[in-house]
Amino acid sequence: MTSHMQSTWLLSRRIIFIVLFISGLAARSQSKKDSLWAVWKNTQNADSSRLIAIGHLCSNYYWYSDPDSAIILADLEYNLAHKKNLKNFMGVSLLKKSGGYSYKGDHHNSLYYSQQGLKIFREIKHAAGVANSLNNIGQDHVYLGNYAEAVHCFYESLGYFTKMGDKKAQAQAYSNIGDAYRISGNLDSAIRLNKYALSLCEEIGSKAYIAFIAADLSALYMDLKQTDEASGYCKKAAALCVELGNKFGEAQSLHNMGKIFFMTSDYGQATVCLEKSLALCKSIKDARGTAACYLVLSELNNKRGKTMKAISYARQGLAAINYRHVPELTFELASLLSALEEKNGNYRQAFEMHKLAMRERDSTNRISVKNAIYQEDLKHDFERKELLAKTGLEKKLNSINAEAERKVFRNNIVLTIAILVLIIFLLSGLFAYNYFRQKNTIATQKNNILKQQLLVSQMSPHFIFNSLNAVQNFIFKQDSHNAGIYLKQFSELIRMILNYSTKELILLEEEFNFLKTYLELQKLRFHSKLNYELTIDPNLDMETVLLPPMLAQPFVENAIEHGIFYKNGEGFLSIKISLEKNTLIYEIEDNGIGLEQSLKIKKEIKARHKSLAINITKERIEAMNKQNPNDFGIEIKDKGLLQKESSGVYVKFATPYLTL
């Protein structure tokens, strides 16, 4: 397994590992999605039952298909757990949020939320939570190239898992440490640790973990050029992945088989396997796996003398990971592309790729991970011996301990002093790099929040302009009483807009007060020309029902400004919010001039203002559709086209029914 394609396996391990951990913390609930939603929405249920339900929805239904929604669900779980001071659920929700970001490839945020979860679990002394947090943190460090930190986390998590007697988790930890040995170049130790991990998994019959570790062993034997052993483990992993429906694992196995065929000069079979793996990686949006496939396809075509095709594959590989922190894979692709461009006579491009390769190369990682393994082996040795004496496992690990000690002491007596001196010089640079990287991450998070809030805040400028014109008219007419009333209501409305535009959800009571204040303000502006009726379904509890803020306001504004404003005589506006089949229904109806007449007037007066209300609301509803299985839409009808004797516009749309 290449280290890049191995990232796909680390992600799969992480997700299944978290799911198993969550199942251990929370009792089993209904397996069907709609049943889980029903448990969550029913505020009469116990808090723990609702948290378990939303947790299973997040991990079982949204992690793979929609990680953005999984992150939102994890936030809902965290908010309720925080409100009720249920710290174990707070920690679990943070790990699930970390998993969502990991699945998206955002390992800086993933690392941050795993670290927050670790703080909570250490505070409440929850051993399983601490161990799983350390495991996740270690895997994020591997992704980010911080191998020394990763080794430290894996060893600490192994100590917890051994005390707990959790063999499946021990197998994961041993395999993770094996990965670190592999990165440091100690393949024999890596194979030995992974074989021990495989024996633990076979002992407890865990097919998913057998598949993971068999794939690791296949890659290790490929590194040793032992293709028969590599092929055997690869086929074992592939069969289990197909049986389990694991597309990540299937893609990895096809990639490994392609490399094995490449090593044995069977280029035709190698191409077939790699192209199948590439298609799977693209279908599951695995950027690392996609780039790794392009890398091997480029190497293969270069070997066959197809330089232009090799260049094309290498460029596509770099494009696939352009936005991710993958220094080792970027180095290999850039180095290969530099050689290919030079071979093709494109010396400028070759030089640019060479500079990119040199920038990504980090020769100190291998040295630091060797030192970290040495230091952690010494520290862990005493703790492990004490544990083995109690658990009866000492004989099984004696050979690992003895050989590891001999090799570590032989190889590191001279290296230790040199590495310590080197680390002193590197610490200042690493500190500055991590500081600016964290600063950029915070800036990115703030930018994403502002993008989400932009849709809500766009609807206010046009209304503010009209309101200020109305105040001006009162002043010109020397009607100070109405001007004072208008300004008071206007300031209250502005306060509501500023407050609600920062929230994803508000109470139905708050939405009712907002619409009422807005309509009273418009009524004062239009005098007796505007009457309205604001009706809420009596089955809705205004103090517990939640809904997105200010969804109805753009349509109410359109009805007044483009319908009732041009009507001769009294205008009437009806707004209804009702409950229908677990969905909130909005109905807005006016007796204005209607859509057709409004468009004619706009053309006659050549109005330049373009209302964005409908487009904004459509975008907000589309965003809700991504987080909800229902397909909500907007229905707009011109009443004059339906009945000749009537006029005005009828608008209907829906949102999810949510409660506290």
pLDDT digits (tens, 9 = 90+) for 251-283: 888 999 999 999 999 999 999 999 999 999 888
Say if 291 falls within a structural domain: no
Q: Which residues contact 518 (CB under 8 A, 6 or more apart)?
A: 493, 553, 556
Whether the pLDDT of residue 9 is over 60: the answer is no
Q: Which amino acid is at 283?
A: S
Continuous segment of H or E residues that includes residue 654: strand 649-656
Asked if 442 and 473 sit in the same domain, the reply is: no
**Residue 167 included in any domain:** no
For residue range 163-172, list pLDDT tens digits in order: 888 888 888 8
Residue 22 has pLDDT above 50, yes or no: no
Question: Is the C-alpha dihedral spanning 575, 579, 585, 591 positive or negative?
Answer: negative
Among the candidates 151, 179, 204, a domain finishes at: 151
Q: Are residues 500 and 623 in the same domain?
A: yes
Report CA-CA distances (Å) from 139 to 19, 104, 171, 410, 484: 16, 14, 15, 29, 62
Note whether residue 209 is domain-resident. no
Residues 6+ apart with CB under 8 A from 443: none
491 with 397, same domain? no
439 lies in the same domain as 568: no
Let me know if residue 136 belongs to a domain.
yes
Instruction: Indicate if 474 and 584 belong to the same structural domain.
Output: yes
CA distance 361 to 279: 29
Predicted pLDDT at 281? 87
Both 9 and 115 in a single domain? yes
Instruction: Examine residue 177 and state whether it is found in any structural domain, yes or no.
Output: no
For the chain, give the percent of residues with pLDDT over 90: 23
How many Cα atoms are found within 13 Å in the side-chain-facing hemisphere of 115?
Answer: 10
Flag whether pLDDT at 229 surpasses 80.
yes
**Whether residues 589 and 556 fall in one domain:** yes
Q: Are residues 446 and 517 in the same domain?
A: no
In a domain, 47, yes or no: yes
* Residue 519 and residue 504 in one domain: yes
Residue at a domain's end among 126, 151, 176: 151
Asked whether residue 275 is domain-assigned, the answer is: no
User: What is the structure's pLDDT at 7?
Assistant: 43
Quote the mean pLDDT of the chain.
Answer: 80
For the domain that residue 471 is a member of, what is the CATH number?
A: 3.30.565.10
Q: Distance from CA of residue 245 to its chain's centroid?
A: 22
Residue 26, in any domain of the structure: yes
Question: Same domain for 432 and 522?
Answer: no
Number of domains in the chain: 3
Residue partners of 84: CB distance under 8 A and separation at least 6: 47
Q: Could you report the per-residue pLDDT of 452-463, keeping only the tens digit for each?
A: 454 444 445 666
Least Cα distance to 4 among 256, 224, 284 occurs for 256
- From 151, 174, 192, give the residue that closes a domain: 151
Domain of residue 19, CATH code: 1.25.40.10
Q: Report the share of the chain in percent with pLDDT over 70.
A: 80
Is the same domain home to 7 and 120?
A: yes
Domain extent, residue 446, equals: 364-453
Could you tell me which of 273, 344, 358 has the C-alpha nearest to residue 306? 344
Torsion sign over Cα 300, 301, 304, 305 = negative
Classify the phi-psi angles of 196: left when phi > 0, otherwise alpha if psi is within -120 to 50, otherwise beta: alpha
Q: Are residues 392 and 467 in the same domain?
A: no
DSSP state of 562: I
Collapsed DSSP state (helix, strand, coil) of residue 533: strand
